[in-house]
Chain A
């Protein structure tokens, strides 16, 4: 199930500004996405997924609004006695807040799950007792849970015990770990670009698209990953710097 951007960012312990700099999307836009005020377009989903090291379909393109913060208790007013209040007529007890309407993604997920049991939309609405458009988020969550449990219970054992290869294509995990390690160790790396230029320097920052290095002379250079062919730890040299001249 896709999760809201805010939840994924929090689970990755990434601040809004970190995500903005990694994804290249402004903080103002990210706030709109997280509040659900604006749907996340596909190209931004791809950038966010890369920045958060998740798959793009893990992010819900339409976030639900964040829960409102609890109201602060009113400070007691002790200075002046307040005038006696008029007694208000007893009010009717408020009904509990109604759950918001189900999200499109919840309905789509429910239809996919129901289809596994040969239940189409009409049959599903009959089973639920109302139109899917009238479902609340809470009800949709309950029905999705119901179908998920059925899937888990009725899943036939696989006839073949197939061991699937681990294909880490969804993430830059190893490169991320490597660059972090080199950055923390303060190692100097040699970069070779597509056009044969080479640069040497310490990694001082990186994102899914760029690596910033500081050369021995103190210059900082940001290399676009698309322009890099390969890099490795620099051989220890007595002195000298990069052989390249441009970014």
Chain B
């Protein structure tokens, strides 16, 4: 899961709220959190900013750094490579489950995973993916 998705998830679980107001309460420059939530590329390089966000949401800096490495473009690249090569790939989901299979297609928000010969196509929401591994 990307840092942006994790931050959206954390904000939702803290009652939503206006981004501008939250940024102010965190002591961040206006637009910083919005930028991190929306970007597809790697963001959140400033650990000092991440530490402020982690403190506000009651999570750890290390956890946010973990998500920083799993940015959306990186997942796109992994999905694309898996789709082209037809190699199986394994996904760890936020639900605690692991899904493995071949990627049939992927787009902005989801990807279609063939988990077996008989199994129907599983449509996975990209923001539910915590981590991924080629098999």
Contacts and interface: CB of A to CB of B under 8 A. Distances in A.
B93 A230 contact: yes
A175 B123 contact: yes
Interface residues of B, number: 28
A156 B105 CA distance: 34
B65 interface: no
A131 B26 CA distance: 46
B124 to A, nearest CB: 4
Given A194-B95, A229-B94, A172 B109 contact: yes
A167 B112 contact: no
B98 to A, nearest CB: 12
Nearest to A179: B123
A94 B29 CA distance: 57
Interface string B86-100: 000000011111010
A231 B109 contact: no
A230 B123 CA distance: 5
Contacts of A226: 8, 12, 127
Contacts, number: 73
B66 to A, nearest CB: 18
B123 A178 contact: yes
A168 to B, nearest CB: 5
A94 B40 CA distance: 55
Interface in B1-27: 8, 12
Given A172-B110, A178-B112, A229-B94, 14 more contacts: A167-B76, A168-B107, A174-B106, A178-B121, A194-B95, A196-B95, A226-B127, A230-B125, A231-B122, A231-B123, A232-B120, A232-B121, A233-B120, A233-B121
Interface of A: 165, 167-175, 178, 192-196, 208, 225-226, 228-233, 235
Interface of B: 8, 12, 40, 76, 80, 93-97, 99, 105-112, 119-125, 127-128
